[in-house]
Amino acid sequence: MNDHISDLRWDRLLADELPADQRTSALAHADGCASCGARYRELLAGQGAFKLRPVQIPFAPRRSRWWWSAPIGALAAAAVLVLVVTRKPAEGERTKGADKPALLLSAGRPGALVPMMGNDAIHPGDSLQAGYTAKTDGFGAVIALDGANQVLTYVPASGDAMVALPAGTDRSFPSSTLLDDVLGKETIAIVWCEVAQPLAPFVAELRSTNTLADRDGCTIRIVVLDKAAR
């Protein structure tokens, strides 16, 4: 029995011919399967894939770190955010609802980004870029838990609300992040939601529990990367 994704299915995925549920299942499998993840990256590189739009992407060299002076419970009561991190990285992308978007992540030296799967290596000074394909307009955010157990907001670069994400194919989130020198496992959560939500309660939840609960109307991709010295 072959439990790996066939090249035919990868070709259909890259041609945007797979149904949304099958696309999500394939990407989630690749996150947890080294062989399939490597083959997916090879096929992407072979066809010059992962060309996120728009081309001109502003960089956010400084990451926002969240520091709390109020109890986490009080912050959680202040607002409701639709941001989710899976319990296990292999679960990959999750959603509630049909026609869910596909969420993408790439990293590497500026100008030479490559797709990221679970446990891939990143390095200080690398650029991190999230992307998506969605049939409808939405809102998004990218947050992370780094090797020092600090919660970081990559997108938005500032403020407490998700950014607008117009519908489209292989679109990019509006900014990239230059990674700092904190080494270790870094959990990246990419979130797309139908309605913009405040970030603070879910940042607090991620920091205290290393996970976030599912919410209706959102699609989530979680990728755990290994940041090491170059």
Domain with residue 148: its CATH number is 2.70.50
**Is the distance from CB of 175 to CB of 58 less than 8 angstroms?**
yes
Per-residue tens of pLDDT for the chain, all 230 residues: 457 887 777 777 777 777 877 888 888 888 888 888 888 887 776 655 444 443 334 444 445 454 443 333 333 333 333 333 333 333 455 555 557 899 999 999 877 889 999 899 999 999 999 999 999 999 999 989 899 999 899 999 888 889 999 999 989 998 889 999 999 999 888 889 999 988 887 788 788 877 777 788 888 888 899 999 98
Same domain, 24 and 134: no
**Is the distance from CB of 191 to CB of 218 less than 8 angstroms?**
yes
Same domain, 70 and 35: no
CB atoms within 10 A of CB 161: 14
Token match 């797979």: residue?
18
Structural domains of the chain, count:
2
Task: Kindly report whether the global pTM for this prediction surpasses the value 0.75.
Answer: no
Same domain, 120 and 162: yes
Same domain, 39 and 89: no
- Which range marks the domain in which residue 18 is found? 7-46
